[in-house]
């Protein structure tokens, strides 16, 4: 996926902005249980390659982009939108195109820098030393533990040098695989695209990615029933404002993540205002970080929801 600055403005004005961006990204990846495969941060845009086992890309990006925009505006004394519209997402046929997409993403720094007067060796050195991408994690030392490197390195049996050679072969002649996604936002061969569009029952002209439309949100009722079953409680207790067990907080969080409900809607269901929902969800995140047993129970509910 890709996000660009509004009017192509810079979204990073200092190195600390990039550091904060990655800090917030790591937190969001953990919160939404997403596998982050690769990333690159440029001056006015960024690219991410992610795998979403729980089909919650929209929720992830809404939370993450709001978080970074709020930080950026506060730090730099500005207001308003930071990004140019909604993020642009592509569905990737991993078996055929994941390697190509990862190479394109990791080569962004050298292609953007336009190192026309540099030797090939200087270009390779520039790429390997670029701090703000996942490339160095793939080819040498691991810096970001939240990265899921196995998705790509598995194609090379874990051999980092082979992956490095694959990427750097593309410095002079690589193509942009994102071009294959024009019109339907699916990076794949024709047969794969046809199958996805058939399952999603949409036409390529629709604005929203076909893959996202093919995934139905979890019904709020199923969220509540799953939480009640896992925590051996009932509807009256969960919906009662005086209830202080973790099930109520977890229900709020999962309604937000998987049922597509906003905090006002959750508040109306739970008999509180939206600010109480926000505070409750924040407290839950702290509890999950500090309590491994509760975290396992929370993930068990998520797994039950994902299994249909």
CATH number reported for the structural domain that contains residue 202 in this entry: 3.30.70.1290
Under 8 Å between Cβ of 238 and 248: yes
Whole-angstrom Cα distance, residue 307 to residue 132?
A: 36
Q: Say if pTM beats, i.e. exceeds, 0.75.
A: no
Query: Where among 172, 191, 215 does a domain terminate?
Result: 215
- Point out the least confidently predicted range of 52-61, 188-197, 261-270: 188-197
- Same-domain status, 24 and 74: yes
293's tokens: 């047993």
Same domain? 240 vs 275: yes
Q: What is the pLDDT of residue 308?
A: 58
> 198 versus 257: which is more confidently predicted?
257
Residue 200's pLDDT band, with cuts at 50, 70 and 90, is low
Closest residue by Cα to residue 123 from 107, 101, 100: 107
Do 193 and 236 fall within a single domain?
no
Q: How many CA atoms lie within 13 A of 217 on its CB side?
A: 14
Which of 202, 291, 298, 297 is closest to 252 using CA atoms? Answer: 298
Beta-strand ranges (E) seen in 24-131 are 35-41, 45-51, 91-92
> What domain range includes position 174?
1-215
Q: Are residues 296 and 279 in the same domain?
A: yes
- Choosing from 194, 215, 236, the residue where a domain stops is 215
Q: What mean pLDDT value characterizes the chain? A: 87
Give per-residue pLDDT as tens, 168-188.
999 887 678 888 888 788 998
Q: What are the pLDDT digits (tens) for 125-147?
A: 999 999 999 999 999 988 999 99
- The Cβ of residue 190 has, within 10 Å, a number of other Cβ atoms equal to 8
The residues, ordered by sequence, that sit 6+ positions from 144 with a Cβ below 8 Å of its Cβ are: 22, 26, 134, 137
Q: Determine the pLDDT at residue 175.
A: 79
Half-sphere exposure of 253 (CA within 13 A, CB side): 23
**Same domain as 155, residue 46:** yes
Number of structural domains found in the chain: 2
Structure tokens at 285: 């995140």
Q: State which H helix or E strand residue 18 sits in.
A: helix 15-32
**Which domain CATH number covers 279?**
1.10.1750.10
Do 5 and 121 lie in one domain? The reply is yes
Return the structure tokens found at 79: 């207001």
Query: Residue 228 has which token pair?
Result: 């009640």
Which tokens go with 37? 């495969």
Mark which of 215, 246, 276 sits at the end of a domain. 215
Give yes or no for a contact between 104 and 177, defined as CB atoms under 8 angstroms apart. yes
3-state secondary structure of 185: coil
Q: Which of 46, 201, 64 is nearest to 109 (CA)?
A: 46
Statement to judge: residues 202 and 291 lie in one domain: no
Are 142 and 228 in a shared domain? no
Q: How many residues does the chain have?
A: 308
Residue 197 sits in the same domain as residue 302: no
Both 166 and 39 in a single domain? yes
Is-contact 254 266, C-beta < 8 A? no
Q: Give residue-wise pLDDT tens across range 85-102.
A: 889 999 998 888 999 999
Q: Looking at the structure, tell me whether residues 261 and 279 fall in a common domain.
A: yes
Q: Residue 16, exposed/middle/buried by CB under 10 A (0-12, 13-18, 19+)?
A: exposed
Looking at the fold, whether 239 and 147 belong to one and the same domain comes out as no
């Amino acid at each position: 996926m890709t996000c660009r600055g509004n009017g192509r403005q810079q979204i990073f004005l200092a190195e600390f902005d990039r550091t904060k961006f990655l800090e917030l990204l790591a937190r969001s990846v953990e919160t939404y249980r997403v596998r982050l495969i690769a990333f690159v941060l440029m001056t006015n845009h960024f690219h991410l390659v992610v795998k979403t086992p729980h089909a919650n890309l929209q929720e992830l990006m809404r939370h993450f982009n709001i978080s970074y925009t709020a930080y950026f505006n506060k730090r730099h004394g500005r207001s308003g939108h930071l990004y140019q519209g909604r993020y642009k997402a592509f569905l990737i046929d991993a078996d055929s195109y994941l390697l190509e997409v990862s190479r394109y993403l990791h080569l962004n720094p050298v292609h953007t820098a336009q190192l026309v007067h540099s030797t090939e060796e200087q270009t390779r050195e520039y790429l390997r030393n670029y701090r703000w991408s996942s490339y160095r994690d793939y080819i040498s030392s691991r810096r970001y533990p939240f990265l899921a490197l196995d998705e790509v390195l598995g194609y090379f049996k874990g051999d980092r040098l082979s992956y490095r050679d694959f990427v750097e072969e593309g410095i002079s002649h690589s193509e942009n695989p994102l071009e294959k996604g024009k019109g339907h936002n699916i990076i794949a061969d024709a047969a794969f695209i046809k199958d996805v569009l058939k399952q999603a029952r949409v036409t390529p002209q629709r604005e929203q990615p076909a893959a996202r439309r093919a995934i139905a949100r979890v019904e709020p009722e199923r969220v509540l029933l799953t939480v009640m079953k896992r925590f051996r409680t009932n509807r009256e207790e969960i919906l009662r404002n005086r209830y202080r067990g973790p099930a109520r907080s977890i229900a709020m969080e999962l309604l937000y993540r998987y049922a597509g409900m906003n905090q006002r809607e959750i508040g109306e269901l739970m008999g509180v205002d939206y600010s109480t929902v926000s505070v409750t969800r924040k407290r839950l995140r702290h509890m999950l970080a500090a309590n491994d047993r509760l975290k396992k129970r929370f993930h068990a509910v998520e797994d039950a929801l994902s299994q249909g």
